[in-house]
A and B are shown apart, each in its own frame.
Chain A
């Protein structure tokens, strides 16, 4: 039915069913089947150009699959009309390598901005309180009034994480969240993402950081040339052959 959204009760929070995405003649991801469960922390690894970002964009409906189905929290991302995309994105928090904070807004305003644009019923006071809570949770309660340029890279990434989780989405996707950070700060951000997962949010992290992936011993999805070549369960230390190519 045009304009309506079909909800589907699926066991997984995110479900890819035979998903292929092509850009012209180039295939970015091919025949992907996977499911992400609630509260999972999952790493998505692979060499550059393997299709990690494409997979994240498919979840957030920045792009549509060429064929196959993408279900996110019961919503069919593969067939959502443009007017319904916002419904899906309210269920997905996003963290980027380059933070993507609005430079004219303070840390608190950046966080409150995400909250208020998604729900007009939220009062200024509530937005401020919840924004401060989120900043407290990432350890930046005392820097609420700082502008992005007054914060370090790690602090900016924390603000970005706070913005992503302030509306308590069931899913958080992070595209190379530690890519611009030093080792120590990268670990702090990773710990933060782990805490978020422990509170029941599914967290999918695309990363190149082999050390983090090895030490965390969480589920690891390996993409190579657009194909999901390995789905390693949590608690196992596997070979990260892709690292040799990246």
Chain B
């Protein structure tokens, strides 16, 4: 639109009026985008946790008898390494097992309570597929070198239980995000509908004098994009600040609870929230325009 009109009677007061009209949408979208950002980061952390768990679950510790001979251990190791389902085999001595146990919370007291070393030596078998861990366990279970009382670390169903929990959490998170998206879409669409209603005379006149559709709709799409952009910016900043606060306050324990959530990831999440805000604002504007703006 040329300057005669634009420079004419569209003062700041009108923009303030528009801002007042979109304030509820702005607030709601900010809150919803913030929740989406935090849920997204939690989902990312859970995904990493699932990957870590899958890796841990495919590592099988085969505990050796204290009186097993070197030949028996070597024969067992050769038999395991020959299996095509196995990626690699490591060996942990009793002393290494003791040292590892002393690093785990609660175990040092147990270690100090006895003069002897209660932790057995083990062959640490990295299985290619977590689903094959049971088969490898069965393969070594009755070997002469293996401790008959506590042969392996295999816990049937443990990984499946973790997977089920993760799947449930993923479905719940996705449903929550969809719900948030729907609410944000509805709130912004209603805001744009109000804006159309407030400017219906102007819109009608523009349409009747033959203004192209993009010119009639453009300001509303821009308004939606700006609303979404502002909401996304605010939500992105808050998401980033919360993440940074948790990362710096929690340090090592946070890394265990939310593996992979680093400063870089938090920045990417904040940017994503901003972009999603713009897309959501523009999309809901277009949706509202299609529904409420007759040509």
Contacts and interface: CB of A to CB of B under 8 A. Distances in A.
Given A60-B208, A89-B207, A163-B209, A117 B215 contact: yes
A66 B201 CA distance: 27
Contacts of A128: 4
B213 interface: yes
A150 interface: no
A244 interface: no
B5 A112 contact: yes
Interface residues of A, number: 35
Contacts of B205: 100, 102, 113-114
B246 interface: no
A116 to B, nearest CB: 4
Contacts of B209: 89-90, 94, 113-114, 117-118, 163, 167
A146 interface: no
A26 interface: no
Interface of A: 60, 62, 82-83, 85-92, 94, 100, 102, 104-106, 108-109, 112-114, 116-118, 120, 122-124, 127-128, 131, 163, 167
Contact of A124 (B3, B207, B211): B3
Nearest to A87: B210
A124 B201 contact: no
A88 B208 CA distance: 10
A163 to B, nearest CB: 7
Tell me which of B14, B205, B215 has the highest count of chain A C-beta atoms within 10 A of its own C-beta. B205
B36 to A, nearest CB: 34
Contacts of B213: 82-83, 86
Contacts, number: 83
Contacts of A91: 210
- Grouping DSSP codes into helix (H, G, I), strand (E, B) and loop, the B interface class, with mixed when no group exceeds half, is helix
Interface in B1-59: 1-5, 7-10, 14
B9 A122 contact: no
Contacts of A108: 4
A109 B1 CA distance: 12
Given A82-B213, A83-B213, A106 B8 contact: yes
Contacts of B212: 86, 117
B10 to A, nearest CB: 7
B2 A127 contact: yes
Contacts of A83: 213
B248 interface: no
Contact of B8 (A85, A109, A123, A163): A109
Contacts of A105: 5, 8-9
Nearest to A169: B210
B200 to A, nearest CB: 11
Nearest to A122: B2
A62 B209 CA distance: 12
Nearest to B199: A102
Nearest to B208: A94
Interface of B: 1-5, 7-10, 14, 201-202, 204-213, 215, 295
A46 B174 CA distance: 62
- Grouping DSSP codes into helix (H, G, I), strand (E, B) and loop, the A interface class, with mixed when no group exceeds half, is helix
B198 to A, nearest CB: 13
27 contacts: A82-B213, A86-B212, A86-B213, A89-B207, A89-B209, A90-B209, A90-B210, A91-B210, A100-B204, A100-B208, A105-B5, A105-B8, A106-B8, A109-B4, A112-B2, A113-B4, A113-B209, A116-B2, A117-B5, A117-B206, A118-B209, A118-B211, A123-B2, A124-B4, A127-B2, A127-B4, A131-B4
Contacts of B1: 116-117, 120
A89 B208 contact: yes
Nearest to A104: B9
Nearest to B290: A82
A116 B4 contact: yes
Contacts of A90: 209-210
A122 B295 CA distance: 24
A94 B264 CA distance: 59
B4 A112 contact: yes
Contacts of A87: 210
A53 B212 CA distance: 24
Contacts of A100: 201, 204-205, 208
Nearest to B293: A82
A118 B210 contact: yes
B46 to A, nearest CB: 46
B17 to A, nearest CB: 11
Contact of A116 (B5, B9, B10): B5
Contact of B9 (A109, A117, A127, A167): A109
Nearest to B2: A116
B209 to A, nearest CB: 4
Given A85-B295, A100-B201, A100-B205, A113 B210 contact: no
